[in-house]
Chain A
Amino acid sequence: MHNIFLINIGHLDINNYFSGLKNFNSISMKLLVCISKVPDTTSKINFVDNNTKFDENGVQYIVNPYDEWYALVRALELVEAQGGSVTTITVGSAADDPTIRKALAIGANDAVRIDADPSDPYFVAKQIAEYAKNESFDIILTGKETINYNGAQIGGMIAEMLNTPFVSLATKLDVANDVATLERDVKGGVEVVEVNTPFVLSAAKGMAEQRIPNMRGIMAARTKPLNVISPVEQEPLSSVVKFELPDAKSGCKYLEPENMDELVELLHNEAKVI
């Protein structure tokens, strides 16, 4: 139902006339959420082809939890309260489409996929920045990091490329008019900050609660637009030469619960950590 009213009239859309009754000053928002696919958190991590490629055998892919649970859900909550639209963007191949559909099932209005290999973070950021440049999004939301690459790189790079602020590790987000108030993790504490749109953020735990898509959402997702576009020219600035698995632990040494003096002695003389 909601989506039928998503006709943009400049920066205001029809939705706003309804939500506007509740919240007189709110302006409908145009939000972009960066979504990537990652192996399920319980996946066995192995490599093939001389340790140069991730072994996808038996691996289930999910939407990166930070992107789904925090960035996407908070974006949807804001738009539900104030009107606007949520678009997702993914740099990847057709293999990403099931995770993109999941994001649509949770409630995003439409999706963009830039058809390219996402292995270099600079390349990925460049693609998203080039797309966003002409679309005047109010907020671009990324996850704190991808759980496979753990680079925490894309959001900051996009912000620099678009010359906007970047609020990293945000745990709370509210928007009134063009001003957002956020909380974010900084060294030694939590900072409350204000920033004008447009800006980029990376979402960490606390920003929202996970949503489970319902049947109606899953049905609706099938027909929502997923626009596949071609990448812009950009040389990758990095590449993975190979992977290795960390050394396995040599085994656990068991100690009697009565004998904590011995543990301290081992931590000091054998492990040399205290």
Chain B
Amino acid sequence: MSVVVFVEVKNKVSKAAMEAVYYGSKLGSVTVVTYGDSSDEILKELGNYGAENILTCRSLNESNDQALTNLIGAAVEKTNAEFVVLAQDQTGKGVGPRISAKLNAGHISGAIDLPDTSNGFVVKTNVYSGKAIAHVALHSAKKVISILPNSLAPQLNQKDANVEEFSPDLGSFGITVKELKSQGDGVPLPEAELVVSAGRGLKGPENWGIVEELADALGATTACSRPVADIGWRPHHEHVGQTGVAIRPNLYIAAGISGAIQHLAGVNGSKVIVVINTDPEAPFFKAADYGIVGDAFEVLPRLTEAVKKFSASQN
């Protein structure tokens, strides 16, 4: 069975790319399709997770939905693939549905596990904002699977990957990019494994230093509750929850956040949740693995110190 895996590679192979390639290798023989100017050497690392062939379109340098859909479509045609696998990140949210419409293929949006093929082709995905899991069956001949980031642990599956230039007709681009306002080099929230988040309990934007210091000590990404983004204490891209970003990191530390149902909807996929709140009745404790009833202004700096001490002891 032939599988096309679409990945984006910028300077290094991301965890999301490893996950997608590993997922694909469980379905069949993997041809990776990618674009941009990454070197053969970097691309060959994808072989560690099961890529056999890598098609790269070096003349394409921007993440354009229509161009990428045509690129993936051409790779599917070339390899006669039955599956397309990609990450459900910002690029994937544009490209996944398009490629499935192009191929008349059923689409799993946000797969959280490998498929169950004991009776048809069934994949689990989060629904109701993480409050439930649906088992979705695909009935089409071709199938497109977008993987929710950080859903499976990619394992090594060594293959000697071969890199090949690939420049099919990409059609019209439609969208012209005028400007990119960068958010900096940190790990983007949806891909972050460790997240430190704070809410209205922090009282004001000037107090975020203690949140950032803990995040720095852990190598974590920062997040916030919705009111905090709405009143402009923090940038909008940090807002997690039902109407913000949905995340599923390994560790989510929430300080001064009450744990409203709409907030939980975006974070309840986290593997471990730590809650710091002065109010022992805060609803967030019901969703927590570890709870500290205490003042964030004291607990956060103390936790930062403890993390630093721990990191030093590990070296």
Contact = CB atoms under 8 A, between A and B. Distances in A.
Given A153-B96, A156-B98, A169-B90, 8 more contacts: A150-B126, A150-B127, A152-B97, A192-B181, A235-B139, A237-B107, A252-B290, A255-B291
Given A41-B242, A192-B177, A157 B299 contact: no
Contact of B261 (A42, A150, A206, A256): A42
Interface stretch (A3-11, A93-101, A239-247): A239-247
B96 A237 contact: no
B181 A189 contact: yes
A268 B261 contact: no
6 contacts: A147-B129, A148-B128, A150-B110, A239-B136, A243-B133, A273-B250
A contacts with B: majority SS: mixed
A149 B310 CA distance: 41
Contact of B93 (A156, A191, A205, A237): A156
A193 B251 contact: no
Nearest to B230: A205
A155 interface: yes
Nearest to B288: A252
Contacts of B289: 249, 252-253, 271
Contacts of B286: 249, 252
Nearest to B148: A150
Nearest to A165: B174
A192 B305 CA distance: 41
B110 A41 contact: no
Contacts, number: 268
Interface string A132-171: 0000000000000001111111111111110011111101
Interface string A223-240: 000000000000111111
Contact of A191 (B132, B173, B179): B179
B interface bracket (residues with beta carbon within 8 Å of A): 35 or more
A48 interface: no
B101 interface: yes
Contact of B274 (A161, A191, A263): A263
A45 interface: yes
B100 interface: yes
Interface string B289-304: 1111111001100110
A267 B272 CA distance: 9
Nearest to B183: A189
Contacts of A238: 106-108, 136-140
Contact of A237 (B135, B140, B242, B306): B140
A80 interface: no
B122 interface: yes
B172 to A, nearest CB: 9
B287 interface: yes
